[in-house]
Amino acid sequence: MDRIRIVGGNELKGVIPISGAKNAALPLMIASLLTSDTLTLENVPHLADVELLLRILGNHGVDVSVNGRREHQDGSYARTIHFTCRTVADTTAPYELVSKMRASFWVIGPLLAREGKARVSLPGGCAIGTRPVDLFIEGLQALGAEMEIDGGYINATAPKGGLIGAIYHFPKVSVGATHVMMMAASLARGTTVIGNAAREPEVVDLANCLNAMGAKISGAGTSTITIEGVSSLSGARHRVLPDRIETGTYAMAVAMTGGDVVLQGTDASLLDTALEAIRRAGAEVTETPGGIRVVGYGSEIRPVDIVTEPFPGFPTDLQAQFMGLMTRANGVSHVTETIFENRFMHVQELARLGARITLAGQTARIEGTSRLRGAPVMATDLRASVSLVIAGLAAEGETMVSRVYHLDRGFERLEEKLTRCGAIVERISD
């Protein structure tokens, strides 16, 4: 099993290219099930989750053509992938595939809309909370689907003639459920209005792609999304938006270690709240043509309190990284997690590096320290794993991060990007 070795103490200086967003790429790929024409996606990152979803879509009959990889001088690459599902080969998403990645459950929406039926295993994924599928079930039921749970699978059936437009208000904001209902409603008869919809940029990106395919969606990016159903969707060409979580992660790494880095190919408007928190912590964050420049001072980090919230609030996917940054602050800070009930598993690992963190319910109290020391640590989930990398970059001596397959799910060529900016980071394969 691979590990990542980090020797801390170096400032980061240079350019880091930001990849396409995993959280946008996955629902966009799933949208290929809605049409018999070809959907072409540009700027698709090379990640373990993307590769797994390619296998899952292949199981449903999606033919995939990859334009290889486009090399750049800085060593980054993005792919253009063509997805064609002339005929849905199988409406069952089996446990052995769905259990490995929660987002693969989202195929239930397109399969139900296009084929009138779907049998999908209950999902798996990161152990950061229960994340029940109730919102997905209730949303699809509002469109007329009959849903039955049997033997760990959800059997879904659309009414004769297809799904029917409806007005539905989510009791809780859910990005995944918004994705699924938006895709399903695109082929429903009549108009669907989704209330309390997720406002994340990835939702807007999916809506833009679906509209390019012939859907009629308005209001994406607000809490009310309206979808006028159409009889069929066509192919389209769409570019995956930049990864705001990767952007924020590297910005925090620079703030924590010191240095001067340009995050290339990203957009500050995707994460205004997180960037403002980084500024309050003492780093300089400015927009540049085609990116963001971050200048950090390492030893002059100020304590900042944050609360995770749905977009446009502070992203839960940057909570662990920000906690890593606060371990070096000159004072006490607080991090409150409101999205997932079990997303503090990184705390005990940060403590191994010398972090002083105490928990009270969903709030972590971080007493900053001027000194972290390298140690062996273990990744527990995707975002927690990269918080350990950030802390390791600022720690004295060597940090060894194990179980880095979590990192490979969401960060493209992390070691290479950091190394090019002066960090000592290497992957060790046992």
Q: How do residues 244-276 score in pLDDT, each as one tens digit?
A: 999 999 999 999 999 999 999 999 999 999 999
Across 114-124, average pLDDT: 90
With b meaning 16 or more CB within 10 Å and e meaning fewer, what string describes 126-136? bebeebebebb
On whether 22 is known to bind a ligand per the annotation, the reply is yes
430 is in an annotated binding site: no
DSSP lists the bridge partners of residue 216 as 228
- Percent of the chain whose pLDDT exceeds 90: 83
Angle formed by the axes of helices 319-326 and 272-280, to 10°? 10
Catalytic center residues = 126
- pLDDT level of residue 68 (50, 70, 90 thresholds): low
pLDDT band at 80 (very low <50, low <70, confident <90, very high): very high
- Cα distance between the two ends of the chain: 6
The yes-or-no verdict on residue 69 having pLDDT over 60 is no
Query: Where do the structural domains in the chain lie, given as residue ranges?
Result: 3-18+242-428, 22-239
Q: Residue 77: what pLDDT?
A: 64
Q: Structurally, what CATH architecture does the domain formed by 22-239 represent?
A: Alpha-beta prism (3.65)
Question: Residue 72: pLDDT above 60?
Answer: no
Q: Distance between CA 104 and CA 98 in Å, rounded?
A: 6
- How, if at all, do strands 167-169 and 216-218 pair? unpaired
pLDDT in tens, 152-166: 899 999 999 999 999
Q: Give the CATH fold of the 3-18+242-428 domain.
A: UDP-n-acetylglucosamine1-carboxyvinyl-transferase; Chain (3.65.10)
Residue 172 marked in a binding site? yes
Question: Would you say the CATH fold of 22-239 matches that of 3-18+242-428?
Answer: yes
Task: Burial-class residue 147 by CB neighbours within 10 Å (0-12, 13-18, 19+).
Answer: middle
User: 165-182, pLDDT tens digit by residue?
Assistant: 999 999 999 999 999 999
Q: Is 107 annotated as a binding residue?
A: no
Is there a binding annotation on residue 211? no
230 is in an annotated binding site: no
